């Protein structure tokens, strides 16, 4: 099913997702890789260097507006993947003994939008595949910035709305660019965007990880009656090989999804090592 995305998780989280229909969505500047937010900035500076005739005032405005969008808005991220069976993801995101949940992408995004916009009508929800790039890649932002590389100082007044739109796109790109070393993840991210003073921000909760307090928001915190995540299948990690485990997953899932059957609960094909 090409319309599915996959969320890797552990047993406790799977239980909560199935029974409570909830997801925890992490604030972007508290992700596992704290350098991600700044990954786009070196590419912007490289572009400016290559286009050295570009207006210095336009360059400064782009830098300032990008920083403004990154600081004036909150971004919350739910990490998913385009693949359902990946050793790096089993090892990293689900602590080896985990599961990948296949979810209908379009239904899921629409559900996110309806839920979060009911809290704040200005909330934006997007889904974007992560682009994995080398440090030397010069094409990452070329298409976005090339049209404004010819803007003059005077264009700052007459075409400011165009620059603002591009800066907002650059801010969003900050969450969809990672180093090529992580390419095996084939990550696709759901991003929830709101202003700092949004009602959504005031709903933040905290989990503790290695002594650090990680802020997150909860999808379906109220356990809305009738709200149902469009889960289509579940895959067990290569380390979960007992028949009773697979049987128990189907039994759990059938509490909420009567249409899911044994063929929808599968085992990783990756050979396990202990």
**3-state DSSP of the chain:** CCCEEEEEEEHHHHHHHHHHCCEEEEEHHHCCCCCHHHCCHHHHHHHHHHCCCCCHHHHHHHHHHHHHHHHHEEEEEEEEECCCCCHHHHHHHCCCCEEEEEEEHHHHHHHHHHHHHHHCCCCEEEEEECEEECCCCCCCCHHHHHHHCCCCCCHHHHCHHHHHHHHHHHHHHCCCEEEHHHHHHCEEEEEEEEECCCCCHHHCEEEEECCEEEEEEEECCCCCCCCCCCEEEEEECCCCCCHHHHHHHHHHHCCCCCCCCHHHEEECCCCCCC
What integer pLDDT is reported at residue 234 of this predicted model? 97
Are 175 and 35 spatial neighbours (Cβ–Cβ below 8 Å)?
Answer: no
Residue 274 pLDDT exceeds 70: no
Residue 247 pLDDT exceeds 70: yes
Tokens, residue 148: 């404004």
Residue 161 pLDDT exceeds 90: yes
What integer pLDDT is reported at residue 9 of this predicted model? 93
Mean pLDDT of 76-81: 94
What integer pLDDT is reported at residue 122 of this predicted model? 96
The per-residue pLDDT for range 89-139, each reduced to its tens digit, is 888 766 667 999 999 999 999 999 999 999 999 999 999 888 888 877 777
What integer pLDDT is reported at residue 132 of this predicted model? 86
CA distances from 9 to 120, 124, 171, 267 (A): 28, 25, 27, 15
The whole-chain average pLDDT of the chain stands at 90
CA distances from 79 to 30, 58, 76, 186, 266 (A): 13, 34, 10, 10, 21
Residue with tokens 């089993």: 90
From the CB of residue 34, how many other CB atoms can be counted at a distance below 10 Å? 9
The per-residue pLDDT for range 176-213, each reduced to its tens digit, is 888 888 888 899 999 999 999 999 999 999 999 889 99
Residue 3 pLDDT exceeds 60: yes
What integer pLDDT is reported at residue 64 of this predicted model? 94
Are 193 and 126 spatial neighbours (Cβ–Cβ below 8 Å)?
Answer: yes
Contacts of residue 48, Cβ cutoff 8 Å, sequence gap at least 6: 54, 59
Mean pLDDT of 210-226: 93
What integer pLDDT is reported at residue 94 of this predicted model? 60
Task: Determine what percent of the chain is predicted with pLDDT higher than 90.
Answer: 62
DSSP β-ladder status, 124-129 and 73-81: unpaired
pTM comes to 0.87
Residue 1 pLDDT exceeds 50: no
The per-residue pLDDT for range 29-78, each reduced to its tens digit, is 888 665 666 678 888 998 999 888 899 999 999 999 999 988 899 999 99
What integer pLDDT is reported at residue 203 of this predicted model? 96
What integer pLDDT is reported at residue 2 of this predicted model? 65
The larger pLDDT score, comparing residue 247 to residue 173, is at 247
What integer pLDDT is reported at residue 134 of this predicted model? 82
Q: Where are the domains of the chain?
A: 4-267
What integer pLDDT is reported at residue 95 of this predicted model? 63
The per-residue pLDDT for range 136-151, each reduced to its tens digit, is 777 778 888 999 999 9
Are 74 and 198 spatial neighbours (Cβ–Cβ below 8 Å)?
Answer: yes
């Amino acid at each position: 099913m090409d319309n599915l995305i996959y969320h890797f998780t552990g047993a406790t989280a799977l239980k909560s997702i199935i029974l409570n229909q909830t997801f925890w969505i992490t604030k972007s500047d508290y992700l596992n890789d704290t350098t991600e937010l700044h990954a786009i900035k070196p590419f912007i500076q490289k572009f400016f260097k290559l286009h050295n005739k570009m207006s210095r005032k336009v360059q400064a405005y782009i830098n300032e507006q990008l920083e403004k969008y990154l600081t004036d808005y909150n971004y919350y991220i739910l990490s998913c993947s385009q693949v359902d069976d990946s050793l790096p993801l089993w090892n990293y995101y689900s602590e080896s003994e985990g599961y990948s949940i296949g979810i209908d992408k379009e239904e899921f995004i629409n559900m996110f939008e309806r839920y979060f916009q009911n809290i704040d009508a200005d909330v934006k929800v997007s889904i974007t595949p992560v682009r994995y790039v080398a440090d030397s890649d010069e094409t990452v932002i070329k298409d976005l910035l090339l049209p404004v590389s010819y803007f003059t100082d005077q264009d700052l007044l007459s075409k400011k709305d165009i620059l603002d739109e591009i800066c907002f796109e650059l801010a969003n790109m900050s969450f969809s660019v990672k180093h090529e070393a992580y390419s095996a993840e084939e990550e696709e991210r759901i991003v929830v965007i709101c202003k700092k003073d949004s009602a959504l921000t005031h709903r933040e909760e905290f989990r503790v990880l290695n002594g650090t307090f990680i802020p997150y928001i909860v999808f379906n915190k109220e356990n809305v009656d009738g709200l149902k995540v469009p889960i289509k299948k579940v895959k067990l990690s290569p380390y979960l090989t007992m028949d009773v485990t697979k049987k128990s997953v189907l039994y759990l899932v059938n509490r909420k999804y009567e249409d899911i059957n044994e063929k929808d609960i599968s085992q990783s094909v990756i050979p396990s090592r202990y």
